[in-house]
Amino acid sequence: MSDYMDKDGFYNKVYQTGVVPVVVLERAEDAVPLGRALVAGGLPAAEVTFRTAAAADCIHTMSQECPGLLVGAGTVLNVEQARRAVDAGATFVVSPGFDLGVVDWCLDHEVDVIPAGVTPTEVTALVNRGLAVTKFFPAAQYGGRGTIDALASVFVGHRFMPTGGVSLANVEEYLGDPAIIACGGTWMVKPKLFADGDFGQVEKATGEAAAVVRRLRG
Protein backbone atom coordinates (compact mmCIF):
# COMPACT_ATOMS: atom_id res chain seq x y z
CA MET A 1 0.00 0.00 0.00
CA SER A 2 1.14 3.52 -0.59
CA ASP A 3 1.65 5.92 2.29
CA TYR A 4 -1.61 7.47 1.15
CA MET A 5 -3.51 4.74 3.00
CA ASP A 6 -3.91 4.75 6.76
CA LYS A 7 -1.47 2.28 8.27
CA ASP A 8 -3.50 1.09 11.26
CA GLY A 9 -6.96 2.21 10.37
CA PHE A 10 -10.01 1.18 8.43
CA TYR A 11 -8.58 1.19 4.93
CA ASN A 12 -5.72 -1.00 6.03
CA LYS A 13 -8.17 -3.50 7.55
CA VAL A 14 -10.12 -3.55 4.30
CA TYR A 15 -6.90 -4.11 2.37
CA GLN A 16 -5.82 -6.94 4.65
CA THR A 17 -9.24 -8.59 4.46
CA GLY A 18 -9.05 -8.36 0.66
CA VAL A 19 -12.61 -9.54 0.04
CA VAL A 20 -15.51 -7.94 1.88
CA PRO A 21 -18.50 -10.30 2.04
CA VAL A 22 -21.73 -8.53 1.07
CA VAL A 23 -24.45 -9.99 3.26
CA VAL A 24 -28.19 -10.02 2.55
CA LEU A 25 -30.01 -11.60 5.48
CA GLU A 26 -33.74 -12.09 5.80
CA ARG A 27 -33.54 -13.64 9.29
CA ALA A 28 -31.76 -11.95 12.18
CA GLU A 29 -31.04 -15.34 13.76
CA ASP A 30 -28.69 -16.18 10.88
CA ALA A 31 -26.45 -13.18 11.58
CA VAL A 32 -24.26 -14.56 14.36
CA PRO A 33 -23.55 -18.00 12.86
CA LEU A 34 -22.85 -16.33 9.54
CA GLY A 35 -20.49 -13.82 11.14
CA ARG A 36 -18.68 -16.57 13.00
CA ALA A 37 -18.29 -18.56 9.77
CA LEU A 38 -16.74 -15.50 8.11
CA VAL A 39 -14.24 -15.11 10.94
CA ALA A 40 -13.46 -18.84 10.98
CA GLY A 41 -13.05 -18.88 7.19
CA GLY A 42 -10.61 -15.97 7.27
CA LEU A 43 -12.59 -12.99 5.94
CA PRO A 44 -13.42 -11.11 9.16
CA ALA A 45 -15.69 -8.44 7.67
CA ALA A 46 -19.34 -8.13 6.76
CA GLU A 47 -21.15 -5.47 4.76
CA VAL A 48 -24.69 -6.07 5.97
CA THR A 49 -27.05 -4.61 3.40
CA PHE A 50 -30.05 -2.45 4.20
CA ARG A 51 -32.13 -4.40 1.70
CA THR A 52 -34.01 -6.41 4.27
CA ALA A 53 -35.98 -5.49 7.35
CA ALA A 54 -33.53 -7.54 9.44
CA ALA A 55 -30.44 -5.47 8.57
CA ALA A 56 -30.19 -3.34 11.73
CA ASP A 57 -30.85 -6.33 14.02
CA CYS A 58 -28.22 -8.36 12.16
CA ILE A 59 -25.68 -5.56 12.57
CA HIS A 60 -26.51 -5.32 16.25
CA THR A 61 -26.09 -9.01 17.06
CA MET A 62 -23.02 -9.46 14.86
CA SER A 63 -21.27 -6.50 16.43
CA GLN A 64 -22.08 -7.82 19.92
CA GLU A 65 -21.42 -11.53 19.42
CA CYS A 66 -18.83 -11.97 16.67
CA PRO A 67 -15.47 -10.92 18.12
CA GLY A 68 -12.95 -9.92 15.50
CA LEU A 69 -15.59 -9.21 12.85
CA LEU A 70 -15.55 -5.79 11.20
CA VAL A 71 -19.27 -5.05 10.89
CA GLY A 72 -20.53 -2.44 8.48
CA ALA A 73 -23.70 -1.52 6.64
CA GLY A 74 -24.24 -1.74 2.90
CA THR A 75 -26.81 -0.38 0.47
CA VAL A 76 -27.07 2.74 2.61
CA LEU A 77 -29.06 5.22 0.55
CA ASN A 78 -29.93 7.97 3.02
CA VAL A 79 -28.88 9.58 6.27
CA GLU A 80 -31.63 7.87 8.23
CA GLN A 81 -30.27 4.44 7.26
CA ALA A 82 -26.73 5.55 8.04
CA ARG A 83 -27.84 6.69 11.50
CA ARG A 84 -29.74 3.45 12.14
CA ALA A 85 -26.76 1.40 11.01
CA VAL A 86 -24.33 3.22 13.27
CA ASP A 87 -26.75 3.15 16.20
CA ALA A 88 -26.96 -0.64 15.71
CA GLY A 89 -23.18 -0.97 15.84
CA ALA A 90 -21.94 -0.58 12.26
CA THR A 91 -18.45 0.84 12.12
CA PHE A 92 -18.51 1.59 8.40
CA VAL A 93 -21.01 2.51 5.73
CA VAL A 94 -21.05 1.44 2.07
CA SER A 95 -23.36 2.67 -0.67
CA PRO A 96 -24.06 1.43 -4.21
CA GLY A 97 -23.82 5.02 -5.46
CA PHE A 98 -23.37 8.16 -3.43
CA ASP A 99 -25.46 10.74 -1.71
CA LEU A 100 -23.36 13.63 -0.47
CA GLY A 101 -25.65 14.00 2.53
CA VAL A 102 -24.73 10.48 3.62
CA VAL A 103 -21.05 11.07 2.91
CA ASP A 104 -21.03 14.29 4.92
CA TRP A 105 -22.99 12.76 7.79
CA CYS A 106 -20.41 9.96 8.00
CA LEU A 107 -17.49 12.37 7.83
CA ASP A 108 -19.06 14.59 10.51
CA HIS A 109 -19.59 11.56 12.77
CA GLU A 110 -16.18 10.02 12.05
CA VAL A 111 -17.77 6.95 10.50
CA ASP A 112 -15.75 5.31 7.75
CA VAL A 113 -17.59 5.48 4.45
CA ILE A 114 -17.08 3.90 1.03
CA PRO A 115 -19.55 5.36 -1.46
CA ALA A 116 -19.63 4.14 -5.05
CA GLY A 117 -18.86 5.79 -8.34
CA VAL A 118 -18.11 4.59 -11.85
CA THR A 119 -17.49 7.80 -13.80
CA PRO A 120 -14.70 10.39 -13.58
CA THR A 121 -17.23 12.99 -12.47
CA GLU A 122 -18.46 10.79 -9.63
CA VAL A 123 -14.96 9.95 -8.48
CA THR A 124 -14.07 13.65 -8.62
CA ALA A 125 -16.94 14.47 -6.26
CA LEU A 126 -15.74 11.85 -3.77
CA VAL A 127 -12.06 12.81 -4.01
CA ASN A 128 -13.11 16.40 -3.35
CA ARG A 129 -14.75 15.20 -0.11
CA GLY A 130 -11.35 13.85 0.89
CA LEU A 131 -12.16 10.19 0.35
CA ALA A 132 -9.39 7.81 -0.69
CA VAL A 133 -11.50 4.81 -1.73
CA THR A 134 -14.49 4.47 -4.06
CA LYS A 135 -16.62 1.37 -4.43
CA PHE A 136 -16.85 0.49 -8.12
CA PHE A 137 -20.32 -0.92 -8.66
CA PRO A 138 -21.57 -2.79 -10.61
CA ALA A 139 -18.04 -3.69 -11.59
CA ALA A 140 -18.64 -6.23 -14.35
CA GLN A 141 -21.19 -4.10 -16.20
CA TYR A 142 -19.06 -0.94 -16.00
CA GLY A 143 -15.92 -2.47 -17.51
CA GLY A 144 -14.24 -4.19 -14.59
CA ARG A 145 -10.52 -3.86 -14.18
CA GLY A 146 -10.04 -2.01 -17.49
CA THR A 147 -12.24 0.89 -16.35
CA ILE A 148 -10.69 0.89 -12.89
CA ASP A 149 -7.20 1.16 -14.38
CA ALA A 150 -8.28 4.02 -16.63
CA LEU A 151 -9.74 5.87 -13.63
CA ALA A 152 -6.71 5.09 -11.46
CA SER A 153 -4.37 6.59 -14.06
CA VAL A 154 -6.08 9.95 -13.52
CA PHE A 155 -7.00 9.75 -9.83
CA VAL A 156 -3.47 8.98 -8.72
CA GLY A 157 -3.34 7.15 -5.41
CA HIS A 158 -7.11 6.67 -5.24
CA ARG A 159 -8.25 3.07 -4.66
CA PHE A 160 -11.29 1.14 -5.79
CA MET A 161 -13.42 -1.62 -4.32
CA PRO A 162 -15.04 -3.48 -7.25
CA THR A 163 -18.28 -5.24 -6.39
CA GLY A 164 -20.80 -6.93 -8.64
CA GLY A 165 -19.76 -9.93 -10.71
CA VAL A 166 -16.70 -10.74 -8.60
CA SER A 167 -16.30 -14.46 -7.89
CA LEU A 168 -13.71 -17.02 -6.95
CA ALA A 169 -12.98 -17.33 -10.69
CA ASN A 170 -11.90 -13.71 -11.18
CA VAL A 171 -11.05 -12.34 -7.73
CA GLU A 172 -7.34 -13.01 -8.21
CA GLU A 173 -7.31 -10.91 -11.37
CA TYR A 174 -8.93 -8.01 -9.51
CA LEU A 175 -6.76 -8.26 -6.40
CA GLY A 176 -3.61 -8.28 -8.52
CA ASP A 177 -4.35 -4.69 -9.47
CA PRO A 178 -2.58 -2.16 -7.23
CA ALA A 179 -5.48 0.28 -7.65
CA ILE A 180 -7.82 -2.19 -5.97
CA ILE A 181 -7.95 -2.12 -2.19
CA ALA A 182 -10.36 -5.07 -1.91
CA CYS A 183 -13.29 -6.66 -3.69
CA GLY A 184 -16.84 -6.98 -2.45
CA GLY A 185 -18.96 -10.00 -3.20
CA THR A 186 -21.83 -12.19 -2.19
CA TRP A 187 -20.63 -15.54 -3.49
CA MET A 188 -19.46 -16.91 -0.14
CA VAL A 189 -22.63 -15.86 1.70
CA LYS A 190 -25.37 -16.85 -0.74
CA PRO A 191 -28.51 -17.85 1.21
CA LYS A 192 -28.56 -21.24 -0.52
CA LEU A 193 -25.27 -22.08 1.20
CA PHE A 194 -26.92 -22.01 4.63
CA ALA A 195 -30.56 -22.75 3.81
CA ASP A 196 -30.34 -25.91 5.91
CA GLY A 197 -28.99 -24.01 8.93
CA ASP A 198 -25.46 -25.35 8.46
CA PHE A 199 -22.89 -22.59 7.92
CA GLY A 200 -20.09 -25.00 6.99
CA GLN A 201 -20.41 -24.18 3.30
CA VAL A 202 -20.11 -20.46 4.09
CA GLU A 203 -16.92 -21.14 6.01
CA LYS A 204 -15.57 -23.30 3.18
CA ALA A 205 -16.32 -20.73 0.44
CA THR A 206 -14.91 -17.99 2.69
CA GLY A 207 -11.77 -20.03 3.23
CA GLU A 208 -11.26 -20.45 -0.52
CA ALA A 209 -11.52 -16.70 -1.04
CA ALA A 210 -9.26 -15.99 1.94
CA ALA A 211 -6.64 -18.35 0.52
CA VAL A 212 -6.48 -16.23 -2.64
CA VAL A 213 -6.05 -13.08 -0.54
CA ARG A 214 -3.28 -14.68 1.51
CA ARG A 215 -1.47 -15.90 -1.60
CA LEU A 216 -1.44 -12.38 -3.02
CA ARG A 217 -1.13 -10.26 0.10
CA GLY A 218 0.57 -12.46 2.66
Active site residues: 47, 135
Stretch that binds ligand 3PG, among 6-14, 63-71, 179-187, 207-215 (CB under 6 A): 179-187
Does 144 contact ligand 3PG by CB under 6 A?
no
CA angle in degrees (0–180, nearest 5) for 215-186-85: 110
Q: In the complex, what is the shortest distance from the CB of residue 24 to ligand 3PG, in angstroms, rounded to a whole number?
A: 7
Contacting residue, 106, 151, 166, 181, with ligand 3PG by CB under 6 A: 166
Does 184 contact ligand 3PG by CB under 6 A?
yes
- The DSSP bridge pattern shows strands 92-94 and 183-185 to be unpaired
Contacting residue, 60, 164, 171, 180, with ligand 3PG by CB under 6 A: 164
Contacting residue, 61, 63, 163, 206, with ligand 3PG by CB under 6 A: 163
**Closest residue to ligand 3PG, Cβ-based?**
186
Question: Which lies closer to ligand 3PG via its Cβ, residue 81 or residue 163?
Answer: 163
Site string for ligand 3PG, 104-143 (x = CB under 6 A): ---------------------------------x------
Cα-based distances in Å from 103 to 90, 114, 118, 127, 130: 15, 8, 16, 11, 10
Backbone torsion region of residue 25, taken as left when φ is above 0, otherwise alpha when ψ lies between -120 and 50, otherwise beta: beta
Q: Which of 148, 100, 92, 164 is nearest to 127 (CA)?
A: 100
Size of the site for ligand 3PG (CB under 6 A): 11
Q: Which residues contact 159 (CB under 8 A, 6 or more apart)?
A: 5, 11, 132, 133, 134, 152, 179, 180, 181
